[in-house]
Amino acid sequence: MKKSVRPIFSVVFLAAAAATLCFKIMVSGGGGGLEFGYRSNVLAGRNPSPVFNDTILRFAAVDLGEDSLRQNVEQLVDGDFRSLATGRHRSFLWSGRNRIDIRARSARGVPVQLRSPEFYRLWLNFRRFLQNWWRNHRFQPDVMSDLVNVIKVLKPGLNDTVSKYKTCAVVGNSGILLKTNLGGLIDSHEFVIRLNNARTRGFEPSVGSKTSLSFVNSNILHLCSRREACFCHPYGERVPIMMYMCQMIHFLDYVVCNSSHKAPLLVSDPRFDVLCARIVKYYSVSRFVKQTGKPLDAWAGSHDGTSFHYSSGMQAVMLALGVCDKVSIFGFGKSDSAKHHYHTNQKGELHLHDYEAEYDLYRDLVARPEAVPFVSDKFNFPPVVIHR
């Protein structure tokens, strides 16, 4: 190369090298861009901070059924049972009479009259439980950390130091379980949660036989309350039951049945209920907007509006996150060739649930739990595994 060209070539080479270096710094080191943030977190073994849609967060935080629920609570606290003797409550109150459904019986098997001294005592307890529940029915993101206190009830006699269950299995009721041989694996977990009294007898190879907690919606207890001594124990009388309240009138079933149960009969923390409701609604609205492109206001029409609710399975999974060091999920999901429930002939899904949105949640719990909205940053999610 000629001497006169070398200085020019050197300058061009240095300029190109400097430009390349600056570009690499901007992309992977010092530019502060999104790509840098993502790569640096991956290299450091951390996931990127989630980006939540603020508009959907605000929308999900609004309970469309709040006003109706408040009115229902006020009526019941005032003892106004007559106004509830129609519609969906007719199954509980004997329509046209001032008495509880003739099939609903006390723990001693005696029909309960609305104006009897026995009912008055039940109503006072019912009123107390309902008022306390309503007083705590509010959003509190730290409630996930408080769930560990449930273990104190399930394990009486513990001191102040509470150890979480090492391994927990949440067993859903999907028909896909019948295509598996996971019963032994399910039973190997320290703590096994089953849903809505789904029977296990005859299905043990696929679903196992061990049950540590029966998690139900209050409609299940309502049906049990019609039986003598409120029998509601397909897994044995010593298995605790936890439920969330679908209808406030079901607190009356609770006070009637609570005294006859040998194992704890628990009602889920209303703060926990509110958290679960917000999470599921966020995932449902996000999926709806992404798939349809419609505005947020159109979501309620596609998901039963005020009746929209999380499933028992979703809340059972969230409970397990708070009481377990490791969570395994079984029997969640669906297949065109499998029944909706492994133990029933039900074919369709309930429209008040958005199962696809809940599956999105479970996938996030496995791969990126920090993407789950509304949960306090102080809560450490345990590892989650989904078995199919």
**In degrees to the nearest 10, what's the CA dihedral of 359, 273, 159, 213?**
-60
**In degrees to the nearest 10, what's the CA dihedral of 122, 128, 131, 136?**
-120
Band (pLDDT 50/70/90 cuts) for residue 42 is very low
Distance (Å) of CA 88 to CA 98, 130, 315, 372: 17, 19, 24, 34
| Alpha carbon distance 123, 7 (integer Å) | 97
Which candidate, 286, 275, 309, places its Cα nearest to that of 61? 275
Distance (Å) of CA 347 to CA 207, 258, 338: 20, 33, 9
Band (pLDDT 50/70/90 cuts) for residue 113 is low
| CATH for the 54-387 domain, from 3.90.1480, 3.40.50, 3.30.1360, 1.10.287 | 3.90.1480
Structure token pair of residue 23: 């570009």
pLDDT at 225: 81
The mean pLDDT value of the chain amounts to 80
Q: Side chain identity at 204, as an amino acid letter?
A: E
Band (pLDDT 50/70/90 cuts) for residue 114 is low
pLDDT at 21: 42
Range with lowest mean pLDDT among 85-94, 151-160, 360-369? 85-94
Helix, strand, coil fractions of the chain, as percent rounded to 5: 45, 10, 45
For 224-247, how does the pLDDT look when each residue is reduced to its tens digit (9 = 90+)? 887 777 888 889 989 999 999 999
For 324-357, how does the pLDDT look when each residue is reduced to its tens digit (9 = 90+)? 999 999 999 877 656 666 666 666 665 668 999 9
Three-state DSSP at 118 gives: helix
Within the chain, strands assigned E span 168-171, 191-195, 213-217, 241-244, 265-267, 327-330, 384-387
Domain borders along the chain are 6-43, 54-387
pLDDT at 334: 76
| pLDDT for residue 5 is more than 90 | no
For 127-146, how does the pLDDT look when each residue is reduced to its tens digit (9 = 90+)? 999 999 999 999 999 999 99
